[in-house]
Amino acid sequence: MAGPLVLNIQKYAIHDGAGIRTTVFFKGCPLSCLWCHNPESQRYPRELMFHQDRCAGCGECAQACPSGAAMPPDREACRQCGACVDACAHGAREWAGEPWEVRDLVRALEKDRMFYEQSGGGVTLSGGEVLAQDMDYVEALARRLYEDGVSVDIDTCGHVPYERFRRVLPYADTFLYDLKLMDPEAHRKYTGVDNALILENLKRLSGDGGKIDIRLPLIAGVNADEGHIGAVIDFLRREDIRPHRVNLLKYHDTGRGKYPQLGRTYEGAGLAAPSDAWLEQARETFLRNGFTNTEIGG
Amino acid sequence: MAERQERGMNERIQRLRRQSTETQPHIDMERAVLETEAYQMYEGKVSVPELRALTLKHIFSHKTLYIGDGELIVGEKGASPQAAPTFPELCCHTLEDMHNMNDRKVVNFTVTEADLKTQEETVIPYWTGRSMRERILGSMTGEWKEAYAAGIFTEFMEQRGPGHTVGSVKLYEKGYLDYQEDIKAALAALDYQTDPEALNRRDQLNAMSIACDAIMILGKRYADLAREMAAECTDEKRKAELLQIAANCDVVPAHRPQTYWQAIQTYWFTHLAVTTELNPWDAYSPGHFDQHLGPFYERDVEAGILTRDQALELMECLWVKFYNQPAPPKVGVTLKESGTYTDFANINTGGVTPEGEDGVNDVSYIILDCMDELQLVQPNSNVQISRKNPRRFLKRACEIARKGWGQPAFYNTEAIIQELMNAGKSLEDARKGGCSGCVETGAFGNEAYILQGYFNLPKVFEITLNNGVDPATGKQLGPKTGEAKDFETFDQLWAAYTKQIDHFLDIKVRGSNVIEALYAKYMPVPFLSILTNDCIARGEDYNAGGARYNTSVIQGVGTGTIADSLAAVKYNVYDHKNFSMEELLEALKDDFQGHDRILHLVRDKTPKYGNDDDYADGLMKKVFNYFVDNVSARPNMRGGSYRVDMLPTTCHVYFGEVMGASPNGRLARKPVSEGISPEKGADVNGPTAVIKSCAKMDHLKTGGTLLNQKFTPAVVAGENGLDHMADLVRTYFDMDGHHIQFNVVGRDTLLAAQKNPEEYRDLIVRVAGYSDYFRNLDKALQDEIIERTEQSFAC
């Protein structure tokens, strides 16, 4: 099996864990959240992104395409040869997903080592879902970074066999652990999967001494309500999970423009962000219940 | 309008600030007239240094004085705030110039009919043929003039005098009577038996003594005026203030200051004298003002005669004083096109003490509060950050910087010290040093570090690609180093480029040496010489090598453009053979019109400086090292040597205007990159990558570099935002970076980014777990961010 594909190596990531970090976005995720703001990270194989606004209509891509699938982009007929990407002189076509050798990726991530050391930052492995990738690769990556003294955070949806957590646990600094919905049915409806594994993994990870930041994406009409906040708090207390931090992440639709670039439609168009006042209330609820390190934002 | 926000800690400061910012700058002919009178009285009868000192004395004996209502610090360069004297001995304005300065759209200076008449009847007839500008241009060679006209380099001193310098602690340790004692001692020590220069030294020292008289006359006149005004003042509170002003002026500048208030007043008198004597570049600066004022502040607070609020109020009064003095208008094309208001007086807060300890004190925070409160572009208020300074100080400075008005900039104390020591300064002199102007390193109070002009590195490459011909005019300006299409390797092209650099540097340096000699001969500055060690001891002028250290600086411009241009050629023509040199030259000639493929390749598919990519950054280093090594070795005419700064002020705009398209995809007439910042839109990996790339330059070999870092407000919001800024500064400085300033962009920039996304690819968006750039967002989302930006600026 080919190694994982990397979508983006984002330097100066300042909302994905402590300090100044570099976030690696891996391609492919077991969930398909309605509101996903990185839709190019959902599927595992590489995909063509087409920027309509940059297209000059010159026709070079159509000339180059051996399958007659370039213009308009026909994703069924496309053979992924990349001729159109090379032919485009306007930057309207690019690949999402690129293979990286572990060694090269480590070198790229350690470029900002001095910033990590100054700021208490490091590397965050994200996605997509990093723990859904080839775990030999992920473990090697995390270990190499750890051995070089770089903090590694794992940003995860939790929906993977627990064994995968175990493999990175010795090298991970903090797990940025998403809790989307507490009700299994609703979870299935909005993300495509049941949440039993996610909750179970969270318990086990906590029991194994993992340092956890709970991250709650909050969306009006989906989970930005007292019921959800209460259910999260109940669960954490019942299972005696003491997160290092709780982050309340306000919904944003910054990623919606990427759907048409992938030839898809954003199904979350009707979603909305909760009000700042409500978020502040939710934060206070957490504080009141003893989760003293609760922040709005990442 | 009732709710308009007034800046200033109290009603007094608000009023003074309003008066300063709302008064129309105008020309003040008094200095020119008094100077003409003085020359008519003394020229030919006394030595040149004495003539200059007598001129200053004549001006200070007769100039109109001004004490504004509510002012606590007194003295104006002109007759009132925003009055700009002229300096016909440097460059004499034509009547057309006078009309231009009145009519131009950028910061204009009102000129009255009476001013025109004075200029025409009194000033022009006397000064025509005598101004430094005429002497300089008359002494330059044909090749110098052609290269200058082509925009290969500029010349600093054709319109303003040398200067670029900064006061030291000496200003607060001695009064001008004490300096006269020092001068007397130096006169007594002159060796008429064996020193062939003894007589010249005598003239110079006499001139310095006269210059001391000049400033003391000004102080006495202000004491008298304040007393007269107090006698007529019916408001008891103001009367007391005026009497205190008079009492202050009885002490300073003749004697050393006794109080915090007097220390500020003595600085201001000194500032006025330096900037009235001549019109030196970057005016004059208080340097380590916090450290100089610290002992006075402590003593006065201890004695119960000063509160923190009063100390802040006096500081704010001084700030307004700085703002009252616009940079004097230039002549000719420069006057027409350059609307710079700021005079670049520069304050270095923080840093280390001469013993190498943390230099931050209570006054440091007073200065930060003052700049935050007043938000005036003049004085240029900056911080020196040492690893010994508390994080609280750094974060307070970040907090001000993120408000988005450009100040304070951040300087690296440890880098400054190493730069100065590399250039031969003692450890203690290096610690006392800092930056003035934009980012220029100097040994405050001990060094004449004179900027000679900007050097257009990308333009020289353009000429190289055209076998020595300037494509803008078709003139053969450089040597014939070969047709570009005939170079078989990148090394051959590089060899040609370095030959062209050598050629134009030689021309530049020969010209600068002549200009320095002209200033030494015709335009000594006895007053500035009093303040600069070791001019008194040597009996030599600041402009003639009297300072302890004498440096000439050439500023390299276009780092990003030249690095990316070299990369574009090496990568595409030689390494990957994506297109031929002929095709590239054709595309450049056509400004890339109809060459979409080549433009796309050089813009989007070629390594660029600013992304922590060794390919492009390596070429930056190559060109920087060549430049710095070939400038730094050269001796100047004042017993010192040449050094390099990498900064543009606003010259990158002019340097772009004289150029066609560049191989990196920069279109014709567009600005070249500024400072050591990457080319516009070339850096797409965020600030850490920019900083890494910039730090690959060996800053310690320079006398200063300038890096601008752009942020959208959201990226630096909150307590975390401050921490991230502070960490960026600290990390860059750990890498020996010299200077960084933050530009927190406003709505206009984001709107421009929507229109020209290619130029703003460096704008980053950071949202938890989200990956993208501003340019990739659709229009509606960009609109939202723009709207949010506006909101965050409103508060």
Rounded average pLDDT over B43-70 = 98
Classify the phi-psi angles of B310: left when phi > 0, otherwise alpha if psi is within -120 to 50, otherwise beta: alpha
Q: Does A11 touch chain B (CB under 8 A)?
A: yes
Name the residue with higher pLDDT: B208 or B437.
B208
Q: Give the whole-angstrom CA distance, residue B434 versus residue B287.
A: 7
| Alpha-carbon distances, residue A129 vs A6, A36, A38, A253, B340 (angstroms) | 11, 12, 11, 20, 53
φ, ψ dihedrals at B742, nearest 5°: -105, 135
Cα A151 to Cα A122: distance, rounded to the nearest angstrom:
5
Closest chain B residue by Cα to residue A90: B600
CA B659/CA B680 separation, integer angstroms: 16
Please tell me the distance in Å from A90's CA to the nearest CA on chain B. Answer: 6
With CA atoms as reference, report the closest residue to A20 among B162, B691, B324, B649.
B691
Q: Determine the average pLDDT of the residues in A109-127.
A: 97
- For tokens 């105008």, name the residue: B26
Q: What is the pLDDT of residue B2?
A: 38
Mean pLDDT score across all residues of chain B: 93
- What distance in Å separates the CA atoms of residue B546 and residue B544, rounded to the nearest whole number? 6
What is the Cα gyration radius of chain A? 20
CB A11 within 8 A of CB B686: yes
Lowest mean pLDDT among B113-117, B508-512, B709-713: B709-713
Pair of tokens at residue B370: 């003052």
pLDDT greater than 50 at residue B793: no
Residues in chain A: 298
Which residues on B lie below 8 Å from A16 (Cβ)? 768-769
* B687, B721, B781 ranked by CB distance to A254: nearest: B781
Other Cβ atoms within 10 Å of B392 Cβ, number: 11
Closest of B282, B320, B704 to residue B528, by C-alpha: B282
User: Residue B295: which H helix or E strand, with range?
Assistant: helix B289-302
CB atoms within 10 A of CB B754: 17
Q: What is the pLDDT of residue A133?
A: 98
Treating both helix axes as pointing N-terminal to C-terminal, what angle do B260-277 and B198-232 enclose, rounded to 10 degrees?
120
- Cα(B286)–Cα(B265) distance, integer angstroms: 12
- Tell me which of B771, B772, B784, B792 to substitute to probe the interface with A (most A C-beta atoms closer than 10 Å): B771
Q: Compute CA B186 distance to the chain's CA centroid, rounded to the nearest angstrom.
A: 33
Say if residues B108 and B101 touch (Cβ distance below 8 Å).
Answer: yes
Active site residue B694: no
Tell me how far CA of residue B676 lies from CA of B282, B585, B659, in angstroms: 21, 26, 19
Inter-chain touch A155–B730, beta carbons under 8 Å: no
Q: Active-site residue B438, yes or no?
A: yes
Query: pLDDT, tens digit, for every residue of B666-692?
Result: 999 999 998 999 998 899 899 999 999
Say what the pLDDT of residue A54 is: 87
pLDDT at B766: 66
Residues 6+ apart with CB under 8 A from A136: none
Instruction: Judge: A19–B727 Cβ closer than 8 Å, yes or no.
Output: yes
Q: What per-residue confidence (pLDDT) applies to B337?
A: 65
Indicate yes or no: CB of A90 within 8 angstroms of CB of B596: yes
Q: What is the mean pLDDT of residues B438-460?
A: 95
Per residue in B650-664, pLDDT (tens digit) is 889 899 999 999 999
Residues of chain A contacting B690 with CB distance shorter than 8 Å: none
Mean pLDDT of B240-246: 98
A·B CB contacts under 8 A = 109
| B101-141: pLDDT as tens digits | 999 877 889 999 999 999 999 999 999 999 999 999 999 99
Beta strands B409-412; B739-744: pairing state: antiparallel
- Is residue A113 less than 8 Å (CB to CB) from chain B? no
Which among B22, B503, B83, B46 is positioned nearest to B272, based on CA atoms?
Answer: B83
Whats the size of chain B, residue-wise? 795
CA-nearest of B599, B655, B611 to B761 is B611
Which chain B residues touch A112 with a CB distance below 8 Å?
Answer: 688-689, 692
* Chain A residue numbers touching B614 (CB-CB < 8 A): none
Over residues B187-214, the pLDDT tens digits come to 999 999 999 999 999 999 999 999 999 9
Amino acid A23: pLDDT: 96
∠ CA B356-B361-B366, nearest 5°, is: 140
The residues with which B287 forms a beta bridge, in sequence order, are: B347
Q: Give chain A's end-to-end CA distance (angstroms, integer).
A: 34
Give residue B223's Cα distance to chain centre: 33
Query: What are the phi and psi torsion angles at B196 (to 5°)?
Result: -65, -15
- pLDDT tens for residues B374-403? 998 889 889 999 999 999 999 999 999 998
Q: Is the pLDDT of residue B330 over 80?
A: yes
The C-alpha atoms of residue B277 and residue B269 are separated, in whole angstroms, by 12
pLDDT band at B62 (very low <50, low <70, confident <90, very high): very high
Q: Which residue of A has its CA nearest to B780?
A: A257
Where does the pLDDT of residue B794 fall: very low under 50, low under 70, confident under 90, or very high at 90 and above? Answer: very low
CA proximity to B564, closest of B671, B419, B663? B663
Q: What is the pLDDT of residues A9-27, one digit of tens each?
A: 999 999 999 999 999 999 9
- CA distance, residue A252 to nearest chain B CA (Å): 9
B714 confidence band (pLDDT: 50, 70, 90)? confident
Q: Which of B704, B711, B706, B705 is nearest to B687 (CA)?
A: B711
Catalytic residue (choose from B440, B447, B516, B759): B440
Q: Which residues pair with B551 in a beta bridge?
A: B449, B641
Q: Looking at the complex, report in whole angstroms how far the Cα of residue B504 sits from the nearest Cα belonging to chain A.
A: 37
Q: What is the pLDDT of residue B767?
A: 62
- Which residue do the tokens 């049915």 mark? A185
Nearest CB neighbour to B735, from listed A14, A88, A114:
A114
- Chain A residue with minimum CA distance to B718: A297
The DSSP symbol for B619 reads H
pLDDT above 70 (res B775):
no
Examine the pLDDT at B761 and tell me if it is beyond 80.
no
B27 in Cβ contact with B86 (< 8 Å) = yes
The Cβ of residue B546 has, within 10 Å, a number of other Cβ atoms equal to 29
Chain centre to alpha carbon of residue B493: 35
List b or e across B401-432, with b for residues whose CB sees 16 or more CB atoms inside 10 angstroms. bbebeebbbbbbbbbbbbbbbbbebeeebbbb
Which tokens is A190 given?
């909005």
Q: Give A8 to chain B, closest Cα distance, Å.
A: 7
Min Cα separation B391/chain A (Å): 12
Best probe of the A interface among B412, B578, B593, B688, by most A CBs < 10 A, is: B688
Q: What are phi and psi of B192, to 5 degrees?
A: -75, -10
Nearest one of B688, B696, B793, B676 to B744, comparing CA atoms? B793
- In this structure, what token pair is assigned to residue B421? 């020591």
Q: Does A285 touch chain B (CB under 8 A)?
A: no
